[in-house]
Amino acid sequence: MDVPVSLTPSSFGEDSWSTKKIDTPSTVTDHTWSGTAQCPGHAPNLPCTINIKSATSQTIATRTITPLVQTGPTQHVVGSNMCQWYDSDYYHPMASVGMGTCNNAMVSSQTYNYGPSTCVVDHYLDNHGCPNDLIVTSQWATVWPWARNPTVIRQLNAKPRFTYDPSNGGKCWDYSDCFCSGCGYEFKTDQSKGWGFTGYGYFYNNRWTSFPKPLAQMSGTERAQQCKQQFDNMGFNCPASRINLICFRAGGYPKQKCSNWCHAQDPTTAVYSPPQSYVTMTSYYGPWGSRGMYPKYTSTEAKCTFEKTSTTTIVGLVSI
C-alpha cells in the first residue's frame, strides 16, 4: 500500500525552494576529427608528423609517429641436445637428439609430444619422420626371456623398431609392442607366460610365428586374420570381424627434420650444421622395463644459425 508523503523545504533543512545554490555547468564542446595521413614511402624507421588544423588553420594537435618500425637483424643460434624418455611406461624407452624442449614427462598418452619439441636431427629419422632405431633383442632379453630364443634373434634383431603408417594424419607404430584384442580376449607380450608379440610376428609356447608381411603393410582384414588364427590356437572363440591387431604408437611422432626447421626460420640467412659424429640411439635408452640411470651423451651437437628481423606497422590512430 502506497502512502502519499508531502515534501516541503524543511524536509531538506531549507526555509524555501530556491535555485540560487545550483551551479550551472560550463559549456563543453565535443570535437571529432577523422581522415587519413600520407606518410612518406615504405622505408622502415622513418618518422611521420601529423598536424590537425581547424578550418581557420589553427593547429589543434601535432603528433609524430614511426609507422614502420624495424628491429634487427638479430643473430640467433640454436643447438641440439640429447633427449631421453619413456613413452608412457618403462617398456617403451626412447632417446633422440633434436632442438627445442625435451618433453620427457611420463604421461599416459600416445599423442603427447614426447622427445625434442621442435625437431629431430636428420640422421635419426626415416624419410617419414619416424625414429630409425633398430631392434636390439639383447635389451629385450633383460626382461623378456623369450627374446633370447635363437629364432627370435634371427627374425627380429637389427630390424626397424618403428614403421610409418600414413592413415589418420600419419603415425609411427612401435613394433616392440603389439597385441590382439577381441570378444574380451587378448594375446600380448606376457613375461610370466613367456609370450612375446611384435609387429613382425609372435612367440607362443616356445615357437616363433612370423606374419606374412609386417603390420603396416597388412590390410585390416589381414591383421584380423592373423589374430583369428592365434585365438583359435589358444581356444578363444571370436569371429575375425570382431578382432583387431594393434601396435603401440610412438607419442609425438612423426617429427620434422632439423635441417628443414632451420631453413624455414629464414630462407636467406639460415645455416644448418649437422653433428660432427653420430651415435647408435638405442645405446642411450634407459633400462628396458625398469626405472634406472640414463647413459650420458657427450657428442657434438647440431647447430642452426639464422637472422631474424621484426617489423611493427602502425595502420591507424584511435585518438591523438
pTM of the model: 0.76
Query: Which of 32-36, 73-77, 114-118 bottoms out in mean pLDDT, i.e. has the lowest?
Result: 32-36
259 domain residue, yes or no: yes
Backbone angles phi, psi at 81, to 5 degrees: -155, 160
Q: What is the separation, in whole angstroms, between the first and last Cα of the chain?
A: 56
- Looking at residue 2, its pLDDT comes to 57
DSSP states along 115-148: EESSEE-GGGB-TTS-B--B--HHHHTTT-GGGG
Domain count across the chain = 1
53 domain residue, yes or no: no
Q: Cell match 600419419: residue?
A: 170
Which residues, at least 6 apart from 52, have a Cβ–Cβ distance to it below 8 Å?
33, 59, 60, 61, 62, 320
179 domain residue, yes or no: yes
Residue 170 has pLDDT above 70, yes or no: yes
Which long-range contacts does 204-211 make (Cβ < 8 Å, 24+ apart)?
204/230, 204/233, 204/234, 206/149, 208/149, 208/151, 208/152, 208/155, 210/155
Q: Mean of the pLDDT values across residues 125-141?
A: 97
46 domain residue, yes or no: no
75 domain residue, yes or no: no
32: pLDDT confidence band, cut at 50, 70 and 90?
low
Query: Which of 8-22, 163-177, 184-198, 214-228 bottoms out in mean pLDDT, i.e. has the lowest?
Result: 8-22
Radius of gyration, CA atoms only, the chain = 36
- Residues 92-127 have pLDDT tens digits of 999 999 999 999 998 877 678 999 999 999 999 999
- Residues 214-260 have pLDDT tens digits of 888 899 999 999 999 999 999 999 999 999 999 999 999 999 999 99
Q: State which residues form the domain around 152.
A: 81-264+278-292
Residue 320 has pLDDT above 70, yes or no: no
196 domain residue, yes or no: yes
For residues 106-115, b (16+ Cβ closer than 10 Å) or e, as one string? ebeebebebb
131 domain residue, yes or no: yes
256 domain residue, yes or no: yes
Percent over 90 (pLDDT), the chain: 65
More confident residue, 57 or 262: 262
